[in-house]
Amino acid sequence: MAPKFLITGATGVQGGATAQAGAILFQGDFDDTTAIKAAITGASGIFLNPFPTMDPELSVRQAQNFIDAAIASKTIKTIVLSTAFFTAARDTIWGSTDPHRGLQHYYNQKIAIEGAVKSSGLQNYTILRPCFLMQNYLLPQAAFLNPELSSEGVLAHIYDKGRKMPHLDAEDVGKFAAAALLNPGKFRGEEIELGNENLTVEEVAAMMKLATGKDVGIRKRSEEEAKRVWNQNPSLRFQGLANEVDLSMDGAALGKKYGIPLNSFEEFLTREREVLIETIAK
């Protein structure tokens, strides 16, 4: 009998990619503990991608609902958790930044959920920490994280010249999650920073133009504009972090270590060309 896995966030880019990579799909409400227990029945593993919320306590509580159900099930042996890149790097990456940037608020909930998974007592756990997802340039995510791409045809940003952000295709999150669920012994206790290409905003715009034939502009936000949209667009906080520290990641080494090839940004743009064309302003 084929193994069964509970995949949370199956309609999102990470959960959907995991389901497409070979896992069997179950859906349930993150607050409905009865539905969670029913969905988890007979499953041997779970991919936990906590629902992003502005309330960190809610996010942690919802994640705990799945962890508790997994423990109580007696059948769940493996849990694969997705958090965020550099969650464990408080001292070297985000912990020294201006607390008003809001990264502490974001990362503390990730740390709490990782801690809950590690202390769950389940036989196998794997933690995936994906970086900036390429899907953030596509609708519907772009409406929130890159709204000017649709409204103006530009990538508005606060990067200093030459600063780079690591990029990852959500499909690759799915590859790693599926591999960890299907081969838990190999991935037991692994905490994996997921990232591939390190790109400047200029490189991103140029590759988008090459893929679609549409002009994609670049505009650095003024300090006044950045302050105005700061709380509406969380990507600015990570762009600011990239200005302060080197966030580069080695995708080639990652793929070689685990035997899982990663998709390039060019490959992603080719695959998603039609969606990107619809995303970029006419």
What's residue 131's pLDDT? Answer: 98
For the chain, what is the radius of gyration of the CA atoms?
Answer: 19
Question: pLDDT per residue over 51-103, tens digit each?
Answer: 777 677 899 999 999 999 999 999 999 999 999 999 999 888 887 666 656 78
Q: Binning pLDDT at 50, 70 and 90, where does residue 12 land?
A: low
What's residue 18's pLDDT? Answer: 64
Whole-Å CA distances, 280 to 3, 20, 93, 216, 225: 41, 26, 32, 8, 21
**What are the tokens at 210?**
């090459």
**What share of the chain in percent tops pLDDT 90?**
76
Which stretch of DSSP H or E encloses residue 171?
helix 170-182
Residues contacting residue 278 through CB under 8 Å, at least 6 positions apart:
139
Rounded Cα distance between 62 and 33, Å, is 9
Task: Give which of 189, 197, 180 is closest to 259, Cα–Cα.
Answer: 180
Task: Give which of 124, 130, 129, 127 is closest to 45, Cα–Cα.
Answer: 124
Strand partners, 128: 82, 192
Task: Give which of 106, 101, 9 is closest to 53, Cα–Cα.
Answer: 106
Lowest mean pLDDT among 47-51, 158-162, 269-273: 47-51
The more confident residue out of 25 and 223 is 223
Q: What pairing do the DSSP bridges indicate for beta strands 191-194 and 154-157?
A: unpaired
**What are the tokens at 269?**
């743009």
Rounded Cα distance between 234 and 52, Å, is 12
Do residues 157 and 221 touch, judged by C-beta distance below 8 A? yes
Question: pLDDT per residue over 89-113, tens digit each?
Answer: 988 888 766 665 678 888 989 999 9
Question: pLDDT per residue over 244-262, tens digit each?
Answer: 999 999 999 999 999 999 9
Hey, how many other C-beta atoms are within 10 angstroms of the C-beta on 195?
A: 24
**What are the tokens at 48?**
């936990």
What's residue 101's pLDDT? Answer: 66
The more confident residue out of 258 and 39 is 258
Burial category of 252 from C-beta neighbours within 10 Å (exposed 0-12, middle 13-18, buried 19 and up): exposed
Superfamily of domain 5-279: NAD(P)-binding Rossmann-like Domain (3.40.50.720)
Do residues 145 and 136 touch, judged by C-beta distance below 8 A? yes
Domain boundaries, the chain: 5-279
Question: pLDDT per residue over 154-200, tens digit each?
Answer: 999 999 999 999 999 999 999 999 999 999 999 999 999 999 999 99
